[in-house]
A and B are shown apart, each in its own frame.
Chain A
Amino acid sequence: SSPAERKEEEPEAPAAGQSRSAGAMDGGWAWAAVLHFFLVNVLIMGMLKTFGIFFVAFQEEVGGSSEQVSWIGSIMSSLRFLGAPLVAVVCRKLGEWLTSIIGAGLVAGGCLLSTQATSVPFLCVSMGVLLGMGFACLYQAAAVMTAKRCRTRLALSNAIARSGMGLTFLMAPFTQLLIDLYGWQGTLLIFGGIMLNLVPSSMLLRPTSTHPPQRTAAKTQERGFLMAKKDSETLDGCLDESTPRETQLRSARDLPSTEGLMTSHDRDVSGPGDTSALERLKKPSTEGCSPETAAEAKRKTVPLTEKDSSEPLLDFSPLKDPVFFIFTWSFFFSHLAYFVPIFHLVARARTLGISSMDASYLIAVAGITETISQLLSGWVADQNWTKKYHYHVAYLVLSGVTNLLCPLATTFPWLMTYVVAFAVCCGGFMALVLPVLVDLVGVQKLHSYLGFAAFFAGIGAAGGPPLAGWLYDYTQTYVCSFLFAGACALVSPLSFLFEPLAQRWKLKKANM
């Protein structure tokens, strides 16, 4: 196969030159995607967190009991997750660019519509449903786009984007100021405008049709299938996340990802781009990193025409994939473990006799530490010293242990220590959620997997706070919430123990 290889390499050279300039652009577009994701995080999380300030204003003016008004907030934050599978379908049909713009439009429209609200049910729909679905669209599109663009430094990019959440503490005083100046209707009007900013930033999510590196990285999986060892040597670190991982996983996910590659290309690529994508498959341009073989190119072009129509609109295949269950189990429990302590931290500090001023220091420290820890964890994970999910598991276990030890923290210094340790662990595992999912299932299938995983996480997010509240009511102490969170955090990485088994099962199934 070597002469065929060499023949393939020659036409690559001029194409490689062309794509090198496109490659520089790629780096630019990758950062654009990260910037957009960052903005999405800031604005979405900011809106969700400042809802509490609106809560008071709504209750006074629009009327309605505390419970009714808090429904608005619940619908808003849970739809963000629960709407994800639907959004995944929309994304694959329309592409991330359009979905993100629609999401931004929904959010801005929802805000503007809410200014006319006169009753709680109205607000439930206008703020809860519209904003929730808009957030889901935005988040899904941004997350998947980031995963598609930043192949090499996904963990770090994800961490940078998530650090936007740390900035949301600025939103609260800002919102309060706006409410004092303009009342809640004026504030919502201005928020609508601010959310409109997400429209130009969504326009930065250009479709990846014209960008080779993404396909070549996927191709390296297939190449691995045919020529395992040889290619792992030639693989340049610039394209792949984790070479040893690829060669291990390629066999398991080869076939599914081939299909995924072909069909999602048809979706991603706009009309004229189709034929160019086909051509590029035959003459892959790779920035000189990874050579192709004729045999492989042939293999790819054949499935292209066949698999076109075979993929259903709503892809339920994640539900049949054991890897999905592994990931979702872990995602679900880690979310529970994350939200519950944050919810009850201040209350616990109060019951220990710590003043609210000091308690708010705790929160501030937690926020800052988590942001720093996310960035560090992302950077470390990208160094590829070991598989990403090992880090994920390590952080989860540590956070579980920390939570279990929390009841011992009864004075302010100890509580501060707990908060720092917890924030470090949380930042660590939160930053790695997306990269681990990408590692497990690859970028092509990311939409449907992320969609369904988010759906289950949404159930956890919706049920978590009430569950924690019930725990407190039942045991009359906040200690139990922390123990519960610790238990969740320890339970969640258990599923990863089954990961090698699952991969082998998939391989057997694929080989049958």
Chain B
Amino acid sequence: LLLGVSGTSVEKNITLDSATRIELSCRLDSEYSHLKSLQVTWKRGNETIRHINKTENSWSIQLRILDNSKLGSYSCVLQGEEEISAVFHLQVPKIEGKEKPIVSYEGDTVVMICKTFGYTPIAWTWYVTNGSEQIAVNDSLLADKYVIDRISANVTHLKILKLTKEDEGVYWCEAAFELGKSIGKLKLKVLSLMVPLKPFLAIVAEVVILVTIVFLYEMYLKKKEKCA
């Protein structure tokens, strides 16, 4: 049972992972109840829904969500002197990818993780972007390159072995729910060992210079003491 209290335009996200019955209702605040002449419409896109249950201050619809086609945005519009509306977005659970790219090195192994929170997907699939296509990662075909582990019901790991520069790019993890699929995006960056080595060598060079300076200064002091 979900309520939308209106004053201005309101949106609400509802996450569903399996088939269920749901009731959406729009309830008007008591301040506005003086607006008697109200016409309420429930819509999904352009399609109007009938079977509106009306009580004193609220109008609701009941939905049976069985598959992906029933998901989407449902809105209730109260037409009076002003138009007040509320929108409900019915969605599958989202997967979190990573905003920042995952950094790894050539020849090394990297583990990419995808999680869902609270909802258990039926299956996980990984895709790698090759050019503009998404190709599924087949770990039985390339068993010494990719390993897909389902660590727990909500977590999946893609382990990529023996990284090369070509493995760099965008990866997708897809979770299949009863009501649909959801995708998370992950970026992989593969660096050669030279990349961090350069600043390191720069720092080492600086250290060597400092050590030399201190040594020379000490020798200079010793000479001074000998002469004095």
Contacts and interface: CB of A to CB of B under 8 A. Distances in A.
Interface of A: 18, 21, 25, 60-61, 179-183, 185-187, 189-190, 192-194, 196-197, 199-201, 203-204, 206, 210
B191 interface: yes
25 contacts: A60-B111, A61-B110, A61-B111, A180-B103, A182-B103, A182-B191, A182-B195, A182-B196, A183-B105, A186-B196, A189-B197, A190-B199, A190-B203, A193-B204, A196-B203, A197-B203, A197-B210, A199-B207, A199-B211, A200-B211, A200-B214, A203-B214, A203-B215, A204-B214, A206-B218
Q: Mostly helix, strand, loop or mixed at chain A's interface?
A: helix
Contacts of A189: 196-197, 200
Given A199-B211, A200-B213, A210-B225, 4 more contacts: A18-B228, A189-B197, A196-B204, A196-B207
Interface in B178-212: 191, 195-197, 199-200, 203-204, 206-207, 210-211
A313 B97 CA distance: 58
A60 B113 contact: yes
Interface class of chain B by DSSP: helix
A197 B207 CA distance: 5
Contacts of B100: 180
Contacts of A200: 207, 210-211, 213-214
B191 A183 contact: yes
A196 B208 CA distance: 9
Contacts of A206: 218
Nearest to A201: B210
B214 A194 contact: no
Contacts of A180: 100, 103
Interface residues of B, number: 28
Contacts of B213: 200
A29 to B, nearest CB: 10
Interface centre among A61, A179, A186, A199 (most CB of B within 10 A): A186
Nearest to A21: B228
Interface of B: 100, 102-105, 108, 110-111, 113, 191, 195-197, 199-200, 203-204, 206-207, 210-211, 213-215, 218, 221, 225, 228
Nearest to A104: B207
A192 B100 CA distance: 25
A194 B203 CA distance: 7
Nearest to B102: A183
Contact of B211 (A185, A193, A203): A203
Contacts of B215: 203
Nearest to A183: B103
B204 A181 contact: no
Contacts of B225: 210
